[in-house]
Amino acid sequence: MNALFAVDKPIGISSNAFLMRLKKKYGWKKCGYSGTLDPFASGLLIVGVGAYTRLFPYLDKSKKVYEATLWLGAKSESLDIEQVHEVQMIQEFELGQILQVLSSLKGKITYIPPKFSAKHINGKRAYELAREGVSFELKASEMEVFELELMGYSHPFLSFRVSVSEGGYIRSLGELIARGLGCEGSLSYLRRIGEGNVRLEGEMQELQVFEGLSLPRVDLSEFIDEIGYGKKFRIPSNYGLRRHQAYLAVFEEFFSIIEIHENNQVHYLLNRIPKC
């Protein structure tokens, strides 16, 4: 079986453990997922089965959409509800002040990822080192906040919807919102509802194979024999294909992902991936 699925990971289970649950339930032999969600978070995971696990590097991950609730006054090493060790009683904020802070965080922002994160430190995950009590520092990172909308405010809980670039940490964004208001803050809820062109609609749905791919499509039907057998050949210059750009070539029974090298030579990134 070769397929891509959008699945809804529940709260309280790691992404890997949830994948193993699906693997056992459906009898998948080979599967994987794109974009880890923390155990406390829920929402969209894109799961690949069979040969389609090889498509993950080509998925459109340009924008990820989340809904989150920030607990103002809650202090947590992990910036989420799992590591809360202190709760401060703070006064309620004016709505205009909150909107001003959210507006200030749109665009490209610099942040320090939480130590309880999947960042790699000398070959180990940061959260593994943090749980072992190892002292380390994470470098500043950058993310782009495309949209940041207030969904509701019932003190001390502030709910927002945000669209961010790949690699953005919503826990760190929550920390920046709290700091902008002059207090501590940790996420009590996080749910991913969109990634690229894919939106979460139900517990599990199969995706059209090309729905999530961020590749220009090119008609190379006249070269089906060459591509079908993985032959070396050149694309005529009148096709106007750019060098070192990946392209999606779709045929009746299979598709391929190719790249154009020097002298218009075709290089196969993925070849003869079955359409179903």
Residue-by-residue DSSP string for 98-126: HHHHHHHT-EEEEE---SSSS-EETTEEH
Any idea what DSSP says for residue 93?
A: P
Amino acid 77: pLDDT: 85
pLDDT in tens, 33-62: 998 898 889 999 999 999 999 999 998 888
Q: Among residues 38, 60, 80, 225, which one is catalytic?
A: 38
Strand-by-strand arrangement of the 246-250 sheet = 217-218, 246-250, 254-260, 266-274
* 3-state SS assignment for residue 175: helix
Amino acid 159: pLDDT: 98
Amino acid 209: pLDDT: 72
Amino acid 88: pLDDT: 93
The Cα–Cα gap between 217 and 214 comes to 9
CB 256 within 8 A of CB 270: yes
* 3-state SS assignment for residue 6: strand
Amino acid 33: pLDDT: 95
Amino acid 52: pLDDT: 94
The Cα–Cα gap between 169 and 92 comes to 26
The answer to pTM > 0.75 is: yes
Amino acid 29: pLDDT: 92
* 3-state SS assignment for residue 53: helix
The Cα–Cα gap between 153 and 69 comes to 9
Residues in the chain where the model's pLDDT stays below 70? 118, 211, 276
- Structure tokens of 250? 């779709």
- 38 is an active site residue: yes
